[in-house]
């Protein structure tokens, strides 16, 4: 392997890490909602989209991207908590089918509301000049500073979540709720408030992921749905209700998806020739994570890290 291809490989690894961390931010809250409340939330992708749009809109209105991220996180937390209190909390004891219908209804509503507010063209974000440059990580390896900040910031959030879940009283209640919801209720904990908190936290993290992704992928209507499905793959691989599982599974999916997209075509052309590769390669690389998921399920049907006891 020449030095240039090695550096390219390192760069792709960093991209995979960045994508994985974005997936983690979306799934950290989702896996708690799914695990603790036994609730299917298809609308998590919509909160991701809302975060991206609010950040893009606020950044272009005020020119301050940092403030825009903070506003987007606050806005999605509030919207998430409101939606939970007003509508979704009624569905915790209902069958999954009703939850799917309700949150699917919210996807349709959110997509159209965004279209009404900001049009169907989508919004782009111009990064502030101090973030919009490349840094030299190794001799010959330059990398966009913003993606690097994304990785560091995401890891910091993961560390914060670890402390929150493992070291605080709220975290203890969340962990207890994930393993036995009824017992926590029986011990006199206000489970309704805990659920609203967890839902709002998950919404805020999805909004954070959206606002950080807006400069990379630009905000567009329907951007949340592919991310939602990847998020479900992460949860299934990591094990429902486990933040640790979501973290490792998100990184795994991020790496495989990113490296697959850049290397699957050339790998296939080594074996089957370039004509076969150019037609099969792109779609096969997109499918790889689903094949990974099927493999994980075939070996351990409850994911790699299982948190729920029941």
Partner 1 sequence: MNRVENRLAGIVLVLTLAVIPAIAFAFDAIFALTFATRILILAAAAVSLNLILGYGGLLSLCHSTFLGLGAYVVGIGGYHAYNDEIAWMADGFVQLCAILVLSAGAAAIIGVISLRTRGMYFLMITLAFGQILYLAAIGAYQYGGDEGMTIFQPSTFAGFALQGRFVMYAAAAIFFCVSVLVVERLTRSRFGLVLQASRMNEARVCALGYDPMRVRLVAFIISGVMAGMAGFLLANNAEFVSPIDLHWTRSADLVIMVVLGGLGIGLGPLFGTALLLIVEELASGMSPHWPIIVGVMVLLVALFMPRGLAGLVSSEKRHD
Residues of this chain that interact with partner 1 (CB under 8 A) are: 34, 38, 40, 87, 90-91, 94-102, 104-109, 111-113, 115-116, 225, 229, 232-233, 235-236, 240, 279-280, 282-284, 286-287, 290, 293-294, 297-298, 301-302
Could you tell me which residues are beta bridge partners of residue 138?
Answer: 141
Residues in contact with 91: Cβ distance below 8 Å, sequence separation at least 6, in sequence order = 39, 98, 99, 102
- Smallest separation (angstroms) from partner 1 to the CB of 4: 28
Among left, alpha and beta (phi > 0; psi -120 to 50; other), residue 161 is alpha
Identity of the residue, 89 or 142, whose beta carbon is nearer to partner 1 in the bound complex:
89
Return the number of the residue (171 or 282) whose C-beta is nearest partner 1: 282
Least Cβ distance, residue 182 to partner 1 (angstroms) = 17
Q: State the nearest-atom distance from the C-beta of 245 to partner 1, in Å.
A: 13
46 vs 236: CA distance, rounded Å: 20
Minimum CB separation from partner 1 for residue 197, in Å? 21
Task: Give min distance, CB of 279 to partner 1, in A.
Answer: 7
Helix (H, G, I), strand (E, B) or coil at 122: coil
Is the Cβ of residue 98 or residue 182 nearer to partner 1 in the bound state?
98
Q: In this complex, which beta carbon is closest to partner 1, that of residue 115 or of residue 185?
A: 115
Report, in Å, the least distance between residue 227 CB and partner 1.
12
The phi, psi pair for 82, rounded to 5°, reads -65, -50
Nearer of residues 207 and 238 to partner 1, judged by Cβ:
238
How many Å apart are CA 50 and CA 203, to the nearest integer? 10
SS3 content of the chain, % helix, strand, coil (to 5): 80, 5, 20
Strands (E) in the chain, as ranges, are 134-138, 141-144
Give the nearer residue to partner 1 in terms of CB position, either 1 or 97. 97
Q: What is the CA radius of gyration of the chain?
A: 20
CA distance 213 to 207: 10
Smallest gap from residue 31 Cβ to partner 1 (A)? 11
Which segments of 273-308 does DSSP mark as H helices, in order? 274-299
Contact 203, 47 (CB under 8 A): yes
CB of 69 to partner 1, least distance (A): 28
Minimum CB distance to partner 1 smaller for 157 or for 198:
198
In the numeric block, which tokens belong to residue 267?
A: 């790998």
Q: Which is nearer to partner 1, 267 or 280 (CB)?
A: 280
Please name which of 34, 38, 96 lies closest in space to residue 228, comparing C-alpha atoms. Answer: 34
């Amino acid at each position: 392997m020449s030095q240039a291809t090695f550096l390219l490989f390192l760069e792709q690894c960093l991209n995979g890490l960045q994508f994985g961390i974005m997936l983690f931010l979306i799934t950290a809250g989702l896996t708690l909602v799914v695990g603790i409340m036994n609730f299917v939330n298809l609308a998590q992708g919509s909160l991701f989209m809302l975060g991206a749009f609010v950040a893009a809109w606020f950044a272009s209105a005020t020119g301050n991207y940092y403030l825009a991220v903070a506003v987007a996180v606050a806005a999605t937390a509030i919207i998430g908590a409101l939606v939970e209190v007003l509508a979704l909390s009624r569905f915790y004891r209902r069958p999954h089918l009703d939850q799917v219908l309700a949150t699917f209804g919210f996807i349709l509503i959110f997509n159209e509301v965004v279209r009404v507010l900001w049009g169907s063209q989508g919004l782009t974000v111009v990064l502030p000049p101090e973030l919009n440059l490349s840094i030299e990580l190794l001799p010959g390896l330059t990398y966009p500073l913003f993606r690097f900040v994304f990785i560091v910031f995401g890891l910091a959030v993961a560390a914060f979540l670890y402390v929150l879940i493992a070291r605080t009283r709220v975290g203890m209640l969340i962990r207890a709720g994930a393993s036995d919801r009824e017992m926590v209720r029986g011990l006199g904990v206000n489970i309704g408030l805990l659920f609203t908190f967890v839902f709002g936290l998950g919404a805020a993290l999805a909004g954070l992921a959206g606002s950080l992704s807006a400069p990379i992928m630009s905000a567009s209507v329907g951007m949340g749905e592919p991310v939602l499905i990847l998020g479900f793959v992460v949860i299934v691989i990591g094990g429902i209700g486990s933040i640790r599982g979501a973290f490792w599974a998100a990184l795994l999916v991020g790496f495989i998806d990113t490296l697959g997209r850049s290397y699957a075509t050339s790998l296939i052309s080594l074996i089957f020739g370039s004509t076969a590769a150019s037609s099969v390669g792109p779609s096969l690389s997109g499918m790889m994570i689903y094949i990974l998921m099927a493999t994980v399920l075939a070996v351990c049907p409850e994911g790699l890290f299982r948190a729920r006891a029941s």
